[in-house]
Amino acid sequence: EPEVTQTPSHQVTQMGQEVILRCVPISNHLYFYWYRQILGQKVEFLVSFYNNEISEKSEIFDDQFSVERPDGSNFTLKIRSTKLEDSAMYFCASSATRTSAPYEQYFGPGTRLTVT
């Protein structure tokens, strides 16, 4: 069964450093998402991406964040200058083909980001 993959599984970085989290969505999906979950808290939406553009973004997704689909398979989340409060599990998700509605989002296993 196709699945969303994410790398790395765990990233440790120092405050102020840039990080790039990588995702490979399901190959024929059209919509891509990033969510995050701070330890013990709710899963929070960050951004959605379609047709090489951001569709929606939350208040969390400020100028320090950016997303990119650099080629036909990868979808990345960049945090320019990490802060301690960026420590969280980051989930990538994808949904919908050209013939199916995006009712079902498929989530990856997550990247645990630890900012020290």
- Which tokens in the block code for residue 47? 């951004």
| Residue 95 is a binding residue for other proteins (CB under 8 A) | yes
- Which tokens in the block code for residue 8? 């790395």
| Residue 19 is a binding residue for other proteins (CB under 8 A) | no
* Site of tokens 């650099």: 70
Name which position in 58, 64, 66, 76 contacts other proteins (CB under 8 A).
58
Q: How far is the CB of 50 from other proteins (least distance, A)?
A: 5
Specify whether the CB–CB gap between 107 and 92 falls below 8 A: yes
| Residue 89 is a binding residue for other proteins (CB under 8 A) | yes
Among the listed ranges 10-18, 48-56, 62-70, 71-79, the one in contact with other proteins (CB under 8 A) is 48-56
| Residue 37 is a binding residue for other proteins (CB under 8 A) | yes
Query: Cα dist. 110→9, 75, 107 in Å?
Result: 7, 13, 8
